[in-house]
Structure 1
Amino acid sequence: MRTAARTLPTAVGRALAALGVLLVIGLLPWLTRTDPARTILHARYADREPTPGTLAAIRRETGLDAGPLHLLGDWAFGLLRGDFGTSWVSGQPVRPDVLSALGVSLTLMAASLAVALLVAAALGARTLLAGARGPGHKPPTARAGALGAVLAALPEFLLAAVLATVFAVRLGWFPAVGWGGAPGDALHAAVLPALAMGLPAGALLGRLLDDALPGAFAEDWVRTAAASGLPPARVARHALRRVLPPLLPQFGFVVVGLTGGAVTVETLFSIPGLGGTALSAALAQDLPVLQACVLLLLALGVAVGIAVRAVRRAALGPALDAGALPALRRPALPPSRTLTATALVSAALLAGVIAYGMTRDPLHVDTAARLAPPGAAHPLGTDALGRDVLARLGHGAARTALTSLAVAAATLVLGVALGVLTRWAEGLREVVNALPPVISGLVVAGIAGSGATGAAVAVTVVAWAPIAAHTAVLYEQERAAAHVEGAVALGADRGHLLRRHILPGVLPPVLRHALLRIPALALALASLGFLGLGTEPPAPEWGRMLSENMPYAERAPWAVLAPAAALAAVGVLAVAAGALTAGARTRRGGGSR
């Protein structure tokens, strides 16, 4: 009975969330401001005149004239027979293409995940080894902060373009585009996109691991293990087992994100994956293909969520049920000198560049100075239209950095609020995480129009899920701790428990996590700008600067490196701010999270 009571809210939330997403996707032709019949006609026959008779024929053929409920009903009954429908554009069955795209995405996800795990292990290794030597040695600090921040803040599409230029075009070691038919060819083609996606994902996981390890090494069992002569390798293994269960949900989010969120990388390398297929279908208003892609992504997200929850329950279930799980208390350690110095330098340079750029005109076009290198007239050079890169970088800071901060604040509030709901919001988190930000951006742009506000809303819609998952696992551990059980026995109500016992232990690490997510939010906004779903031209925005100048990266690298360096600086500052908050003391026990 107890297991059923715990499972029912999750299952209900998952089913309602999945139904809501599929319903919105199914209603997309009626929610957007464009006529889907015109879009389908253009996708089929680019030069054919959109006469009323032709458009009416397309509506009859696709069932658009029957209304949304009829379309959704036919699609649902087809799923019961294993039929995903017929493409509105190609006229071919949807199932073979989307299943093939799923196989490609899973292969690419596996390769990217291997890269991410190696990067995360490398970033956390120094802290792990330092803590395993015992309390007599210098306490571990955030050793990999600066490097992890830079890696996490590098745009995936920029990494993909640089890797393709160097290792595919110049050296010829790997294919620049396409996906091989044989397994060996597919793995060979997956190397560069896997590096482009795995490096930032691994940096985020490594930073979260590096942030959690000092709390494990500060516990009493480490002193006992060292006094009893336990080998450092075993201490390190036990410390990993202590910190990994709370991080498992983040691992699940990364797995799903590497599958459905690789749209820009798939587009650059012409990889027929699920994310790129969904994007193409959404742009062409090919509803059956889009619905099938989203359904598979949702199924993958739910499956990963169930697996993560099962592994975590197997590792911590008895401790959680018995109320014997102590909360990790991260010691109040100063950030590493390298991270502090890097953050100070980054802040000074970024502030100087933005301030100086704000004094210049970002819209002035000088056709005689197209792709001009840095010089006295243009300190950071010009772009393909002859506009000053420094001016566009300065004026675009508010649209990128400040928007990222606003989205981070919104996701923090939503994540904490929905994370405390735990089981009722768990299914919703799994479903939302499976929805790529680009698809969310297309839906929001179709309903409200493209622009900076729409891009921010689209990112917020899906970006709260990792924060909520982190809040939920910490809330569950704090609620099962012995001191909370004692407070309940003394008659403390839910409000008192939240204010005095649970939230003081949950909020500090969640706040640091939210700060670590700022570069990812900036990159998500930049990705939407890169795909033309963010700020509309000619307004400057760092993501749009990258997309506009990417074709000229080899001739004018300064036009691409400037916004990329600014994004990396934002990442370093976010990680440094998170490290500074680690010294905040909680009200209980004088420790900090």
Structure 2
Amino acid sequence: MALLRGLLTRVAVLAAVLAAIGLMPWLARRDPALTVLRARYPGREATDTALDAIRADLGLDAGPLAILRDRAAGLARGDLGTSWVSGEPVAATVLPAFGTSLTVMGAALAVVLAIACAAAAPALRRGADGRAVGTGGIAVAGLAALPEFLVAALGVAVFAAWLGLLPAYGFSGPQHLVLPALAMGLSGGGVLARLGRDAIGQVAAEDWVRQWRTAGYTRRRIARGLLRRALPPLLPQFAIIAVSITGAAVAVETVFAVPGLGRAALDAADAQDLPVLQACTALLVGLGFAAGLAARAAAHRLAGPDGTTAPAVPPVRGSRRAGALWIACTAGPLLIAVAYGLARSGAVATGSRLEAPAAAHWLGTDELGRDVLARLGQGAQWTIGAAVAACALSYLLALALGFVPRLAHPLAEACNSFPVAIAGMLVVVLLGRGPWGAVLAVVAVSWPPLAAHAAELAARARTAGHLEARLALGAGRWWVLRRHTLPLVAGPLASHAGLRLPGMALGIASLGFLGLGAGPDSPEWGASLARSLPYLERAPLAALAPAAAMIAMTLAAMAAVSLPRARRR
């Protein structure tokens, strides 16, 4: 019944999103006929007669309800419609791109599983022998800190531009699959490896493991038991990673010019080709939904007879001194660079374009002669400032929904399957490009885990033993909410939201990298990275500086998360 309820919720959310895309011309109050006219007939004057002809051809004159009815009837027949821009059947564009994306995503999932298995194998051996299982150290943390679009940009820089080992663009052979698969799979592999080692370490400390060793079970048999016990809580995490891979397809396919579904969706959003955007969104989000349901069913099947599973993220073993040192080594240089950058001038100086590092410009200059270090400091204000705004909005939304658990849980489970790139494209079509659009897109995919946590905290507060005593003494409903329930929910939820701030900053940066967030001339880190890629060989630091800043920020955040849980020596 729970699986059926989850399926129906996902279908309802997807149908609502597709309907919203179909209603974009009316919701956005923008005329797509002008965009379609320029795409079909470049250079033709946008007269009223020409625009009226385009509207009649697109069927916009029939009104929103007629368009939705016709689209629903077509989808029921398996007809994806006709492209507004090319006039060709949508299936002719989307289905080949879907096959290409499935190939790349399959290779990326293979990378994820290979990294996770490589990290889990020694953990299983140590756990079966009764030894402590670590988290994997710097290597695993470093992989988990690499966002997909950043790995793609660095892959082009290192393996294609500098070493010439692999092709940077196109998709015509197995050699073109390596860099996209690594870009989409390294981060997810690091996350799954970290969670897997943590889960195995927690299970290895249970009593039954010691009993099995005492009874003379072989190490292989104990390792199989550890794996079976640790897998159920990891499968939903694997589903989340699969969703992130579908979202990463937009950025990675754009960087490597792969003719896949993500790139087709981005092009359709730019051209306001709503039938193509609907089809791409349905397939990409449908993949995420399918992964979530499959992982949930597998976790239910593997769970023990009592339905219990091992926690996915147990307390981290380590010392506070090591955690503080790790934070200083990552956040310290970043803060110094940002402070120095804010003190420098980032004015345009076309006579100093793409200069090498020197005393006047410590990290060189960009394509307009602006100081790279100054732009790095200014970009921190843009990226982190937008992330703080997204974090605050997500917190308030989750706090409100947390007191309505029947609404929060199903919506959170369904919306958790939406990648940030898809949300960014929909917001751009609706509101246009801009920093606030990126903030809203990040909020749209960031509130679900916070809302689920808020619902759990609210339920726990309502069942507190001392609450009955206060009610017996005459405490009213609003007094209990204001003085008892809300303080127990607001504080822990704020801590949880703060931990997600770096991930929101990377989401802002990824949208800026795709051109879906801040303007092209903005110092925002993602936009700066995208703008510097064409000049990678002449001015590598212009691209590497924002990339290094994003990596340092994420590593410092990961260390800060584990620091409060670290065990004193």
CA separation of 1:189/1:277 partners in 2, compared to 1, >3 Å: closer, same or farther? same
Q: Percent of aligned pairs with the same residue?
A: 49
Match of 2:336 among 327, 344, 352: 352
1:34 is displaced (CA, Å) by 3.5
1:353 is displaced (CA, Å) by 1.2
1:115 is displaced (CA, Å) by 0.8
CA separation of 1:583/1:21 partners in 2, compared to 1, >3 Å: closer, same or farther? same
Match of 1:389 among 372, 377, 393: 372
1:7 is displaced (CA, Å) by 4.9
RMSD: 3.7
1:142 corresponding residue in structure 2: 135
1:368 is displaced (CA, Å) by 2.2
Match of 1:286 among 258, 265, 273: 273
Residues 104 and 181 of structure 2 are in contact (CA less than 8 Å); yes or no, is this contact kept in structure 1?
Answer: yes
1:361 corresponding residue in structure 2: 345
1:21 corresponding residue in structure 2: 17
CA separation of 1:532/1:298 partners in 2, compared to 1, >3 Å: closer, same or farther? closer
Residues 213 and 240 of structure 1 are in contact (CA less than 8 Å); yes or no, is this contact kept in structure 2?
Answer: yes
2:105 corresponding residue in structure 1: 109
CA separation of 1:414/1:117 partners in 2, compared to 1, >3 Å: closer, same or farther? farther
Instruction: Specify the SS of the correspondent of 1:319.
Output: coil
Q: Whose RCO is larger (CA < 8 A, sep 6+)?
A: 1
Instruction: Describe how 1:191-202 pairs up with structure 2 within 5 A.
Output: 191-202=178-189
1:250 and 2:237 matched: yes
Residues 160 and 168 of structure 2 are in contact (CA less than 8 Å); yes or no, is this contact kept in structure 1?
Answer: yes
Quick one: which amino acid aligns to residue 536 of structure 1?
A: G
2:168 corresponding residue in structure 1: 176
Match of 1:207 among 183, 188, 194: 194
CA separation of 1:168/1:418 partners in 2, compared to 1, >3 Å: closer, same or farther? same
1:582 and 2:568 matched: no
Match of 1:272 among 256, 259, 264: 259
Distance 2:391 2:204 in 1: 30
Residues 330 and 582 of structure 1 are in contact (CA less than 8 Å); yes or no, is this contact kept in structure 2?
Answer: no
Residues 278 and 290 of structure 1 are in contact (CA less than 8 Å); yes or no, is this contact kept in structure 2?
Answer: yes
CA separation of 1:529/1:426 partners in 2, compared to 1, >3 Å: closer, same or farther? same
1:553 and 2:529 matched: no
Instruction: Specify the SS of the correspondent of 2:523.
Output: coil
1:200 is displaced (CA, Å) by 1.5
1:162 and 2:158 matched: no
Distance 2:326 2:304 in 1: 41
Instruction: Specify the SS of the correspondent of 2:303.
Output: helix
Match of 2:68 among 64, 68, 72: 72
1:306 is displaced (CA, Å) by 2.1
1:332 is displaced (CA, Å) by 6.5
Distance 2:128 2:495 in 1: 24
CA separation of 1:16/1:389 partners in 2, compared to 1, >3 Å: closer, same or farther? same
CA separation of 1:326/1:357 partners in 2, compared to 1, >3 Å: closer, same or farther? closer
Match of 1:444 among 427, 432, 435: 427
1:306 and 2:302 matched: no
Quick one: which amino acid aligns to residue 534 of structure 1?
A: G
Normalised by the size of structure 1, how large is the TM-score? 0.82
Distance 2:49 2:241 in 1: 48
1:400 corresponding residue in structure 2: 383
1:521 and 2:513 matched: no
Distance 1:558 1:522 in 2: 21
1:140 is displaced (CA, Å) by 3.2
Distance 1:72 1:50 in 2: 27
Residues 225 and 235 of structure 1 are in contact (CA less than 8 Å); yes or no, is this contact kept in structure 2?
Answer: yes
Count residues with an aligned counterpart. Answer: 552
1:330 is displaced (CA, Å) by 3.5
Which deviates further from its counterpart, 324-333 or 81-90? Answer: 324-333
1:192 is displaced (CA, Å) by 1.2
1:569 is displaced (CA, Å) by 0.8
1:8 is displaced (CA, Å) by 5.6
Instruction: Describe how 1:83-94 pairs up with structure 2 within 5 A.
Output: 83-94=79-90
Instruction: Describe how 1:51-70 pairs up with structure 2 within 5 A.
Output: 51-70=47-66
Residues 13 and 428 of structure 1 are in contact (CA less than 8 Å); yes or no, is this contact kept in structure 2?
Answer: yes
Residues 135 and 316 of structure 2 are in contact (CA less than 8 Å); yes or no, is this contact kept in structure 1?
Answer: no
Distance 2:388 2:129 in 1: 38
Which deviates further from its counterpart, 433-442 or 550-559? Answer: 433-442
Structure 2, unaligned runs of 5 or more: 472-476
Normalised by the size of structure 2, how large is the TM-score? 0.85
Residues 157 and 265 of structure 1 are in contact (CA less than 8 Å); yes or no, is this contact kept in structure 2?
Answer: yes
1:566 is displaced (CA, Å) by 0.8
1:217 and 2:204 matched: yes
Residues 199 and 313 of structure 2 are in contact (CA less than 8 Å); yes or no, is this contact kept in structure 1?
Answer: no
Residues 94 and 279 of structure 2 are in contact (CA less than 8 Å); yes or no, is this contact kept in structure 1?
Answer: yes
1:588 corresponding residue in structure 2: none
Residues 261 and 438 of structure 1 are in contact (CA less than 8 Å); yes or no, is this contact kept in structure 2?
Answer: yes
Distance 1:295 1:426 in 2: 22
1:455 is displaced (CA, Å) by 0.7
1:168 is displaced (CA, Å) by 4.1
1:61 is displaced (CA, Å) by 0.2
1:174 is displaced (CA, Å) by 3.9
CA separation of 1:551/1:198 partners in 2, compared to 1, >3 Å: closer, same or farther? same
Structure 1, unaligned runs of 5 or more: 480-484, 586-593
Distance 1:517 1:307 in 2: 26
